[in-house]
Amino acid sequence: MQKVAIVGAGRVGETTAQILAEQETCREVVLIDIREDAPQGVALDIAQTAPLFRFDTRVTGSNDPAAMAGADLVVITAGVPRKPGMSRSDVLEVNVKVIDGIVDDVLRYAPEAVIIMVTNPVDVLTWRAWTRTGWPRARVLGQAGVLDASRMAAFIAMETGFSVRDITTIVLGGHGDAMVPVARFCTVNGVPVSHFLEEDRLEEIVQRTRDGGAEILSLRKISSAYDAPGAAVAEMVDAIARNRRRLLPCVAILEGEYGERDIAMGVPCVLDRSGLTYIVDLGLNAQEQAAFAASAAGVRADIERLPPLPGG
């Protein structure tokens, strides 16, 4: 991949850019932000780590959305973060206005790109970006499941003492309080995690995963999480840029999978250079399917709050 544009040079955007540069995932990373000089400063700071981390990725910053021209992939992190006590849905009204403008910029300057939405509420805004672009669902994705699954794996590692390298987790549904960590599909090197943890302890980890972002926000107080979200975005970009055909939980537009359609939800996705190749339908049991449907209902309620599209 030649060029990745990151719209939003805040902490998540900065962390994502640093990782992409260090791993030389692409030849060029450009950070775009409306704050005067901010993306230029972030880019210069990252560029000055190149001799230490020994990467040749070109990192630049700009206040002009035209800087995304020719980007193969656009990551959108811009928007208002939530504050302690707020849900992700609480920032929808403000952030949809921000996202609409950015998506229009993508249509103008990078019409062949893949979009990865990060701004919250990510499920709703991924759906909004898809409807506003009119693109195939393969090219409009959201980041949430990779982050949530990473959080769950970290908690399991803390509890069991096993290496995180051996822990695989899966989290479905909306990126919010009704997300669906599916313990049945979580393993330690192929062994079901239920073999090592009692049901009540595992349920506590499931709930801590749902509260993972809020927990960090309450501890930091003046900042939401950005290290793990940035790493999760970089994982998705790597899968696409290097055509890895990786199976990752991502926010995707559903077309009947899991009994839902015309909605964006977290599901297992196979990613390659085209973006989303296909969605894996796990075949949930009745309890899991009910939880997924409840999560979808929350996302739909927020979708109904969106202002109409131009001409809609």
Q: What is the CA radius of gyration of the chain?
A: 19
Residues 47 and 169 in one domain: no
Active site residue 195: no
82, 132, 151, 175: the catalytic one is: 175
Q: Give Cβ neighbours of residue 216 (< 8 Å, ≥ 6 apart).
A: 224, 225
User: 312: exposed, middle or buried (C-beta count within 10 Å: 0-12, 13-18, 19+)?
Assistant: exposed
Residue whose C-alpha is closest to residue 6's, from 26, 25, 33, 37: 33
State the total domains in the chain.
2
CATH number of the domain where residue 276 is located:
3.90.110.10
- The β-bridge relationship of strands 28-32 and 58-62 is parallel
The pTM (predicted TM-score) of the whole model is: 0.96
Residue in this structure with the two tokens 């908690």, named with its chain if needed: 155
CATH code, 51: 3.40.50.720
Asked if the structure places residue 312 within a domain, the reply is: no
pLDDT given for residue 312 in this prediction: 60
Domain edge (last residue) among 97, 118, 142: 142
Residue of 203, 301, 300 whose CA lies nearest to 259: 300
Residue 49 lies in a domain: yes
Looking at residue 4, its pLDDT comes to 98
**Same structural domain for residues 117 and 238?**
no
For 24-85, give the secondary structure using H, E and C. CCCCEEEEECCCCCHHHHHHHHHHCCHHHHCCCCEEEEECCHHHHCCCCEEEECCCCCCCCC
Query: What pLDDT, on a 0 to 100 scale, did the predictor assign at position 273?
Result: 95
The answer to the question of residue 310 being in a domain is no
**b/e sequence 73-83, b meaning 16+ C-beta within 10 Å:** bbbbbbbbbbe
Predicted pLDDT at 172 = 96
pLDDT at residue 176 in the model: 82
pLDDT < 50: residue spans in the chain = none
Question: Are 155 and 209 members of one domain?
Answer: yes
Domain span at 92: 3-142
Same structural domain, 39 and 169 = no
Cα separation, 219 vs 93, whole angstroms: 26
- Mark which of 142, 173, 189 sits at the end of a domain: 142
pLDDT, one tens digit per residue, over 145-163 is 999 999 999 999 999 999 9
Does residue 28 lie within any of the structural domains?
A: yes
